[in-house]
Structure 1
Amino acid sequence: MLEFKNVTFKYLEYDYEMLNDLSFSVEKGEFVSIIGASGCGKSTIFRLINGLEKMQSGEIFINEDSIKNLKNYSAYMPQKDLLFPWRTIGDNLSLPMEIQKIKKSDRENRVLEILKEVGLSDYKDKFPKELSGGMRQRVSFARTLLTGSELLLLDEPFSALDSLTRILMQEWLLEEWKHFNKTILFITHDVEEAIFLSKSIFVIQDNPITHMERIEVPLEYPRSRSSMQKPEIIELKESLISRLRQKVNI
């Protein structure tokens, strides 16, 4: 579904490249995580997919079409929920559909449907300040879904949550991914989170990024927390941490 083909990119204010001749692909319906040291270029990859930055060379394709020719092909969910505090939850969810000029009655119906799906049917008329952190992230994810895009880019969406809420949100996200059958590219610094969620993990070790090592996670779906204690998973976790530790300067 997603393909990077020989992509090279540098920010104009810097002398060095972030990506150099990078190629990789993600299949439709996959859940793939990207891990790497801070500042290695993970979020830059998302910005390029969204067309927020212009690459120096190469091409990015969605379903074999260049993103230069496409609109509304991906949706982005950042670390912060970015809900507008002056809008109700229902109105926040309506925003992507307002931008697409979908008529009001259809917007309202879809908002009610998605609120039911994410377990927040009673919160349509509440304001963001009245919701917990986990609830706000569920709303943010629901808003991402309502863009209608098949490719979802999730940039450390659970990093600010407490550990228990984060675990519950990870389990919830897998259920939603299975239900909506979206393709998800997920950035995280948490190796265990990447393993629990992903079919495959891309590991960034180069600077600039010239390639990403792809590692398959040896777990079937659905997954449970007990599966994280399997010897092969513990070994994988230690291997990934070792790879990342080599690139971290303290």
Structure 2
Amino acid sequence: MTNALAGRKALVIGVANDKSIAWGIASALRAAGAELAITYLNPKAEPHVRPLAEKLDARIVAPLDVARPDDEDALFNKIATEWDRLDVVVHSIAYAPRDDLHGRVIDSTAEGFGLAMDVSVHSFARLCRRAEPLMRAGGSCLTVSYYGAEKVISTYNMMGPVKAALEATARELASELGPSGVRVNVLSPGAMATRAAGGIAEFDAMLEATIERSPMGRLASIEDVGATAAFLASDGARSITGETIHVDAGYHIMG
């Protein structure tokens, strides 16, 4: 994939540390030649993210809390001013209030469910909408899901229906943006030890079960996800859109 993305401009949202899926994706995009814009959630997160962004020579490093429209405005104004185009968007964020996430879906609050849907799902639609006018030559929009969107994972709880909504939303966006040459796809990694996953109840047991069930007897890595993302952002995937691509060492095929 060397230089497959040379000259491309890529926005990556969700880098938290060097164990995050977004970091694996950002690293792979950069290795393929893309120029990067990387966001951090807030001032508390900035000292952890900025050194990573600088390691990848990110041209733009900016705050983005998707619950704050002003942050979105400022970010895309900066991209339009400095680049005047955008080729790739990577959305690798999700959130649910802890009490709602750890409880039964049937007991979840309307407020908690709504917040999870806004941050985890509708934010992707908003980012694609803002990116569309900058993708004048077409582009690739990617988001990140999990097998719990398809089947019940006992400890995944609220995030199951939320990720299912994300995958359905991505298909709709693929249909709507296709005429503009913008492709929309979903990466569905297997369970892996990221900071975000630490909020899921009994996560260590989930990792062990994933290894046991996988045909390859191992977990996928953030590097594996990054390599797949770089392919989907490249011209080699120019006819792939609306898909959910599993990067899970075969976990999802097992009954």
Q: Which has the higher contact order (CA 8 A, sep 6+)?
A: 1
TM-score (norm 1): 0.33
TM-score (norm 2): 0.32
Identify the structure with the greater strand proportion. Answer: 1
Identify the structure with the greater helix proportion. Answer: 2
